[in-house]
Amino acid sequence: MSNFQEWLAGTDPLDPSSALILLPPIADASGVTVRWQGVDGKIYYVQGGAAGQAFSTVQSNVTSSGCITT
């Protein structure tokens, strides 16, 4: 990512441990829960799609308080 993209994501390009890290998904009868270490004050959009198909937004305006975000 460029430094600008890192800034938008709230990560630090000079810190190798500063990254968007997805945690293992949790699947159950109601679907799949996606989790990641969020950045405080950032708003996320979750997108998904089948192989070879365009991505579509599954959930929008997911805010983070700087902890595990689902």
Per-residue pLDDT of 32-53, as tens digits, reads 999 998 888 889 999 998 888 9
Name the domain count of the chain: 1
Percent of the chain residues past pLDDT 70, beyond the cut: 100
Q: Quickly state the pLDDT bin for 30 (edges 50, 70, 90).
A: very high
Place of tokens 């996606």: 34
- The total of other beta-carbon atoms located within 10 Å of residue 50's CB is 8
Tell me the one-letter amino acid at 32: V
Check residues 18 and 61 and name the one with the higher pLDDT: 61
Mean of pLDDT values over 3-30: 89
Domain containing 49 equals 3-69
Neighbours of 31 (CB within 10 A): 10
